[in-house]
Amino acid sequence: MINEFPTGYNRHEIVKKQRPVNLQLNTISFPPSAISSILHRVTGVAMFFALIFVIWAWAVSVSSPQGFADVQQLMGGVIGKVVAIGTVSALTYHVLGGIRHGIMDMGHWEELESGNLSAQIVIGLWIVLTIAIGVVLW
Amino acid sequence: MVTNQASIKRDGVQDWVSLRATAVIIALFSFYMTWFFISTPQITYEVWRELFAGLGMKVFTLAALISVMLHVRIGLWQVLTDYVKPAGLRASLQYVLNLIAFAYVAVGLFVLWGV
Ligand code: HEM
Ligand code: HEM
Overall domain count for chain B: 1
Atom of ligand 1 nearest to the CA of A67: 30
Q: Considering the domain boundaries, does residue B64 fall inside one?
A: yes
Mean per-residue pLDDT, A94-118: 94
3-state secondary structure B75-115: HHHHHHHHHCCCHHHHHHHHHHHHHHHHHHHHHHHHHHHHC
Per-residue CA distances from A15 to A12, A73, A133 (Å): 5, 59, 49
Q: Considering the domain boundaries, does residue B93 fall inside one?
A: yes
Q: What is the ipTM of this complex?
A: 0.88
- b/e burial code for range A46-65 (CB count within 10 A of at least 16 → b): bbbebbebbbebbbbbbeee
CA distance linking residue B20 with residue A91, whole number of Å = 15
CA distance linking residue A11 with residue B113, whole number of Å = 58
Among A42, A32, A29, residue whose Cα is nearest residue A86: A42
Among A69, A88, A90, A86, residue whose Cα is nearest residue A78: A86
> In this structure, which ligand is nearest to the CA of A57?
1
Q: Considering the domain boundaries, does residue B8 fall inside one?
A: no
Q: What CATH number did the domain enclosing B23 receive?
A: 1.20.1300.10
Segment A64-76, tens digit of pLDDT? 999 999 999 999 9
Residue A9: is its pLDDT beyond 70? Answer: no
Domain of B99, in residue numbers: 13-114
Q: Considering the domain boundaries, does residue B61 fall inside one?
A: yes
Mean per-residue pLDDT, B9-19: 86
Residue bearing the bigger pLDDT, A4 or A65:
A65
Which stretch of A5-19, A68-82, B40-54, B70-84 has the lowest confidence by average pLDDT? A5-19
Mean per-residue pLDDT, A39-49: 98
Residue bearing the bigger pLDDT, A137 or B66:
B66
Question: Which of 2.102.10.10, 1.10.10.60, 3.40.50.740, 1.20.1300.10 would CATH assign to domain A30-50+77-137?
Answer: 1.20.1300.10
- pLDDT value at residue B12: 85
CB contact under 8 A, A62 and B111: yes
End-to-end CA distance of chain B: 45
State residue B10 phi and psi, 5-degree precision. Answer: -135, 155
Which residue in chain A has the smallest CA separation from B98? Answer: A48
